Structure 1
Amino acid sequence: MADPIAITRTISIEPSEIEESFVRASGPGGQNVNKVASAVQLRFDLQNSPNIPEPMKRRVAALAGSRLTKEGVIVITSNSHRDQKLNRAEAQARLVALLREGAHPPRPRIATRPTLASKKRRLEGKVRRGGIKRLRERPDLDD
């Protein structure tokens, strides 16, 4: 049996959870593109994966966007190489990168306030800019 694919130190997925199908790639490649199914379509059932915790599933689902189907399956297609083995490795690497990105919860933002000095600099800049614009006005003819 194949070794599990490590996502983090504590989370890994079984290769049996990944389903791969090979299709003909579009684009350049000459007559070879019409004969060889070199593009890979990788499918990973995120919703029913027993190895991924529920909070991580929610984060990964948000990150996956249009790559996630209604059934909760992540579909990654790779056809940038002419070699099936390279496309397969790239698709798997993209899946692992997506899962690693969703493995860590985002750090909460800590609200901060601007310092007094930065407030003063901002107001001085506004006054300076207003002065420049005032010099562009048409001169007063009454004087």
Structure 2
Amino acid sequence: MIPDSELRFEYAHAGGPGGQHVNKVATKAILLFDVDASPSLDEYQKARIRDKLATRINKEGILKVSCRRFRSRTMNRDAAVARFHELVEKALTVPKKRRKTRITRSQKAKRLDDKKKRSRLKRDRRATE
């Protein structure tokens, strides 16, 4: 949906496992996407992304997705892109509207019948004077 040409990447030191290697190589991938400047999204889609992914968007309107799961920069980059597409797709899907359902006649009759039985049982337990 969104072409890779609209995505920018930054790389940083990841931390975590890797020993001495981890301090020398910037393997953490940070994907940056300018929501407001994107020509591939219409205004409704931009508004929906801004609303649903508000916690990931900074004041400049840039959506950030980072990944530091792998020790490889390319694997982290690919994982960040996959996560980004997943987040955008989820933000753009509109949930189905709930349709009201009615209680069936048989369910209503069964409930009333059970209430009558319970009432009769309690009435019979009462002491008669």
TM-score interval, smaller chain = 0.7 to 0.9
1:110 positional shift: 1.9
- Match for residue 29 of structure 1? 18
Root-mean-square deviation (CA), in Å? 2.8
Given the two structures, how large is their TM-score scaled by the length of structure 1?
A: 0.70
C-alpha offsets along residues 81-124 of structure 1, whole Å, 9 cap, x if unaligned?
Answer: 00000000000011111222233332222222222333455567
Rg: which structure is higher? 2
Q: Which runs of 5+ in 1 are unaligned?
A: 1-6, 8-12, 135-139
State whether structure 2 residue 79 is matched by structure 1 residue 90: yes
- Match for residue 137 of structure 1? none
- Match for residue 28 of structure 2? 39
Given the two structures, how large is their TM-score scaled by the length of structure 2?
A: 0.76
1:76 positional shift: 0.4
Structure 1 distance, partners of 2:19, 2:111, is 61
Identity of aligned residues (%): 34
Aligned length: 123
2:65 corresponds to which of 64, 69, 76: 76
State whether structure 2 residue 98 is matched by structure 1 residue 109: yes
Structure 2 distance, partners of 1:52, 1:43, is 16
- Match for residue 53 of structure 1? 42
SS in 1 for 2:78: helix
